């Protein structure tokens, strides 16, 4: 791999800061910004492992900033499904038929916002054991296409989590997923040394974005937070449909 130019370094660094800040505010969406930039700069095979490591660091920082509000029982059930399915998805790591997948997931995001708005506050929550299935499905998708963050948001919100509890719990759950993916990528030989170094270099930028996002979240109400997340889901849903 050739060395990155100064312009490419600045572009990737800026994208990482913006992505991490957005993810720390909305709990999702950072990958939609960062992953395409990494793909354009590094190519698909290097971009996904680099993104996974950078997101792992960013997620850990969000866990730290929201530690007291993390719902650990949700994390445990999520991990039970996510760990084996992340390994399976990483082994099948491919971009085949991405356009169809984009359309399906884009439609899911838009419909999830409509469903939650129609549902209102009735029966907020569901059995926590259901997160095992949720974790398994979306860990598999994440390992295949690099990112599945936006598709997890509706479930964490529907469970009744918001603000720091949502941000911290989702971040800890996906940290476990990313750690599993990195192990699998390394085992199958797609996690090259230069990818590790680039991912580590992006780490401090991701942490800075998490810190900035936490400052923003602390200043918004629960209702404003929900509007922010719904807006993000609509935007990303439309982007997926357009890209598909």
CA distance 225 to 222: 5
> Which residue is associated with the tokens 């889901």?
233
Quote the pLDDT of residue 160: 86
Query: What is the model's pLDDT at position 223?
Result: 75
pLDDT tens digits, the chain, 244 residues: what are they? 667 778 888 988 998 898 888 888 876 667 667 877 887 788 767 777 888 888 889 889 999 989 999 999 999 999 999 989 888 877 776 555 556 655 665 676 677 667 666 655 554 568 899 999 998 988 887 776 666 666 777 788 888 888 888 889 988 998 998 888 888 877 777 677 888 888 899 999 999 988 998 888 778 776 777 777 777 767 767 776 776 5
Tokens of residue 38, six digits:
């990494």
Q: Are 81 and 136 in contact (CB under 8 A)?
A: yes
pLDDT score of 117: 66
Q: In sequence order, what DSSP letters do the residues of 117-186 get, joined into one string?
A: HHHTTTT----TTHHHHHHHHHHHHHHHHS--HHHHHHHHHHTT--HHHHHHHHHHHHHHHHHHHHHHHH
pLDDT, position 97: 57
Specify the pLDDT at position 89: 78
Residue-level pLDDT at 46: 78
Domain boundaries, the chain: 6-243
Q: Is the model's pTM score more than 0.85?
A: no
Q: What are the structure tokens assigned to 70, written together?
A: 């993390």
């Amino acid at each position: 791999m050739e060395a990155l130019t100064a312009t490419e370094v600045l572009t990737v660094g800026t994208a990482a800061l913006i992505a991490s800040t957005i993810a720390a505010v909305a709990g999702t969406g950072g990958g939609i910004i960062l992953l395409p930039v990494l793909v354009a700069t590094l190519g698909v095979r290097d971009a996904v492992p680099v993104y996974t490591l950078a997101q792992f660091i960013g997620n850990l920082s969000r866990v730290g900033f929201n530690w007291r509000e993390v719902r650990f029982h949700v994390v445990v059930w999520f991990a039970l499904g996510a760990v084996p399915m992340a390994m399976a998805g990483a082994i099948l790591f491919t971009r085949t038929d991405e356009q169809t997948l984009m359309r399906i997931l884009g439609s899911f995001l838009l419909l999830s916002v409509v469903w939650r708005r129609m549902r209102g506050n009735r029966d907020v929550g569901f059995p926590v054991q259901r997160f095992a299935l949720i974790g398994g499905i979306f860990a598999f998708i994440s390992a295949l296409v690099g990112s599945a963050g936006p598709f997890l948001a509706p479930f964490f919100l529907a469970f009744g989590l918001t603000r720091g509890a949502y941000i911290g719990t989702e971040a800890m759950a996906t940290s476990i997923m990313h750690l599993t993916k990195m192990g699998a990528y390394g085992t199958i030989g797609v996690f090259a040394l230069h990818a590790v170094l680039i991912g580590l270099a992006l780490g401090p930028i991701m942490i800075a974005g998490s810190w900035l996002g936490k400052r923003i979240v602390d200043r918004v109400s629960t209702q404003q937070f929900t509007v922010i997340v719904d807006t993000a889901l609509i935007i990303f849903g439309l982007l997926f449909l357009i890209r598909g």
